[in-house]
Structure 1
C-alpha cells in the first residue's frame, strides 16, 4: 500500500471513529425548532371551536389569528448527541441552547412540564380577563384554595378548588384581603372561613398554627381567580407555556365584536398578556417567526422586548408589528384593515 493510500485509509477510519463517538456522546444542550401554529379563529383537531363562547352574542370572523410554538429536542431525560447539536448549530432554523435554559438544575423534567401546563392555564385566564376589560365588560375576582398542606389544621376541612368568600365574617375577593385579615390573628386562635364548594356554602371554624414567618396560618395556599360573566372555553390540546396570551385575547375580542379584526389577513404572533392588557416578551422568537411564515402569515405581532432579535431574523414576506399592549395590537390591526392610523413596527 502506498503512503498516500495509507494516509487516506487512516483519515477515513478517524472520521468514522469521530462520527461514531459523536453519535454516542450525549451533550447537555437542547435544540429549539419551529413548532406548529394554530388558528384561534378556527376549530381544533376535534372539530370543535378552539375558542368557544357561551352566554354572550358572538360574530363571524375571517382570516387567521395564529399563535406560534417552539418544539425542542433534548433534556435530562433524553439528551441529544454531539452530531445532532452540531447539525443544529449549522441549521439557520434551529437554535442550540444550554440544557439549563429549558430545564433549571433545581427542577425535574416533570416539574418543568407541570409548570408549563400551569402557565398555559393561567395565561388563558389572564387573556380572557384582558379581552373583556379591553371591551369594558366587568370581570370579578375571587379567592380559591390552590392546595392544602398535609398535617396542617385545614387538612381534611378544605380542598383544592374551594372558594373562600369571607374570613371571620368579612367578605373577600382578593388574596391580599385574606392576608390582611390573617395578619390580625394570633397563632392558636380560631378563624371562621366561609367556603363555597360545588355551589353550596358553609362555614368552617379552623384553628390556626404558627407559620414559617411567625404569623397565624391554617395550612392552605391561596390563589386569585376570575369571575367571568359568561363562559369562555379555550381548547388547544397538549401545549404549554404563557406565550399565546396576546393572540387568545385578540381572538376573544374578534368573536365578541362585529367585523373581522384581521380584515381577512393571515396574522400570527406571540406575547404574554397581563390581566390589564400589557404584552410581555417571550423566548424562541426566531423559530416562531419561521413557523408563522411557513404557515402563510404575512403579519406578525411582536412584543416590544423581542423586536431587536426579530428584526435580525425576520423571514422575507413577514411584516413585524410592534405590540406594547393589547390596545396597541387591536388598534394596529384596525389600521391595517382600514388604512387609517399608524401601525407600529419593530423598526420605529
Structure 2
C-alpha cells in the first residue's frame, strides 16, 4: 500500500508539477469516539451563552427596523427649509433655433467645436434628511422660508424667475444681433412688479405693503397703462404723499383688483415721487427673423452673458472660445454690461463638475464671493471676472479664441 501511494504521488507530480501539493494523498487518520465527543463539546455553545444571544437578537432587530423607518420617514417629510445647491453647466448652442420670418431668410449657422455653457444653481424645499445632509455640505446653503423668499411668495418668485429668463433672452438677442450689424429694436411690455422699494418704516398704504412681486399693473387712477412708458407718463407731476389707485392683476384673485396706495419719495432723487417698485424688463426684441432659446423649467436672468456669447459664436465662422471649454454667468443689459448674479459658489462647482476649464463671471461680484468660488472650483478652473461683453471677448481672444469678423451689414 505504501508503494502504491508513492507511485500515485510520483505520477501526479510528473503530470502536474505546479499543483503537486494539491494532488498529494494523505493517509486517513482514525479518531476515537472519546476524541470525537470532546471535539463536539468544544464546539458547542454553552446554554447560558445561547440564551444571552437570543435575548439580544430581538432588541437589535427591532432597533434596526426602527432606524430604517426613521431614515425613510425623514427622507419623505418636507420641512420649512430650502436649499441652494450646485446645479449644472449646459451647452447653449443646442438650445438655439433660428426660423424664417416674413420674407427674410434665417441666418447661416457656423457650429463650433467648443460651445459656451450657461450655469444653473438648484433650489428647492428640503426633507428632514436632505436638510441634515445640506448642513454638512459646506457648498450648500440651507435657509429658512423667510431667508429664502423674504417678503415674496413661492408663486411670485417662480413667475419672476420665468419673466427674468425671458428678459435675459431678449437682451442677449438684442445685444448679439446689434453687435453683428443686424437691425434690432425693442417693443415695450407690460408693467410687472419685480422688486419692492420700502422706506425704513413703510406706511400701511405704501406699495411695499400693498403690492406683491409678480403682480401686473394695468391702470393708474383709471387710466390704462399697458406698458412701462405709459405708466411713467401717468406719473408725471405727481407729488410725494399723494394717494393714487392702481388696478392690479394677481394670481391671488381671478378678477382685477383696485388698490389705493401712497406715493413715496425716490431715494435716489430727492423731491421726486415714485410708486415704490422696480418694474421687470418685459420688453421684447424685434429682429428680421425669429430666434428661440429653449430653457424649460429654468428661471432667472443670470444666463444673459452666456446666451449673448452663444449667439455670436453660432452666427460667425471660427472658434470664438478657442481650445478652451468655457462657461459663463452674468446678466446682460442693452449696453452690453455684465451684471452680478446669485449663488456664484454653487455655480462654480457646477462648472468644475462639467469639466469646463474657464469660467467668466461678473466683475461686480464681491471679492469674498469670487474668492469662495475659486476655492470651491479648485485650481483646474480659471475664474475670470468681466464687466462688459467687450471684456469677455477680449479674454476669449487671449485664450486662443477667434476674433469676431468685421461688420459688413
TM over 0.5: yes
Taking a change above 3 Å as real, the CA distance of residues 213 and 31 of structure 1, as seen in their structure-2 partners, is closer
Partner SS for 2:327: strand
Query: Normalised by the size of structure 1, how large is the TM-score?
Result: 0.65
1:229 aligns with 2:287: yes
| Alignment partners' CA distance in 2, 1:330 and 1:227 | 23
Q: What residue is the counterpart of 1:117 in the other structure? A: 162
1:336 aligns with 2:387: no
1:87 aligns with 2:127: no
Q: Deviations over 1:119-148 (max 9, x none)?
A: 111111111122233335443233344556
Taking a change above 3 Å as real, the CA distance of residues 249 and 98 of structure 1, as seen in their structure-2 partners, is same
| Alignment partners' CA distance in 1, 2:401 and 2:77 | 56
User: Where does the alignment leave 5 or more consecutive residues of structure 2 unmatched?
Assistant: 1-51, 192-215, 239-259, 264-272, 274-278, 404-409
User: Where does the alignment leave 5 or more consecutive residues of structure 1 unmatched?
Assistant: 45-49, 165-174, 186-210, 216-220, 341-348
1:289 aligns with 2:348: yes
Partner SS for 1:290: helix
1:302 aligns with 2:355: no
| Alignment partners' CA distance in 2, 1:226 and 1:151 | 23
Q: CA RMSD in A?
A: 4.2
Q: What residue is the counterpart of 2:82 in the other structure? A: 30
Q: What residue is the counterpart of 2:374 in the other structure? A: 311
Q: Deviations over 1:155-204 (max 9, x none)?
A: 7xx9x7xxx8xxxxxxxxxx54773487489xxxxxxxxxxxxxxxxxxx
1:263 aligns with 2:310: no
| Alignment partners' CA distance in 1, 2:261 and 2:223 | 16
| Alignment partners' CA distance in 1, 2:234 and 2:139 | 53
Instruction: Please tell me whether the aligned partners of residues 267 and 297 of structure 1 are also in contact (alpha carbons under 8 angstroms).
Output: yes
Partner SS for 2:400: helix
| Alignment partners' CA distance in 1, 2:138 and 2:316 | 40
1:129 aligns with 2:174: yes
1:69 aligns with 2:127: no
Structure with max Cα Rg: 2
1:139 aligns with 2:202: no
| Alignment partners' CA distance in 2, 1:28 and 1:256 | 46
Q: CA deviation at 1:245?
A: 0.7
Partner SS for 2:317: coil
Instruction: Please tell me whether the aligned partners of residues 325 and 355 of structure 2 are also in contact (alpha carbons under 8 angstroms).
Output: yes
Q: Deviations over 1:59-109 (max 9, x none)?
A: 4132121111111231xxxx532x4222112224433233334322x3221
| Alignment partners' CA distance in 2, 1:223 and 1:322 | 25
Taking a change above 3 Å as real, the CA distance of residues 338 and 140 of structure 1, as seen in their structure-2 partners, is closer
Q: Which has the higher helix share?
A: 2
The equivalent position to 2:389 in structure 1, one of 326, 338, 341, is: 326
Partner SS for 1:96: strand
Taking a change above 3 Å as real, the CA distance of residues 131 and 53 of structure 1, as seen in their structure-2 partners, is farther
| Alignment partners' CA distance in 1, 2:370 and 2:181 | 29
Q: What residue is the counterpart of 2:144 in the other structure? A: 98
| Alignment partners' CA distance in 2, 1:33 and 1:245 | 21
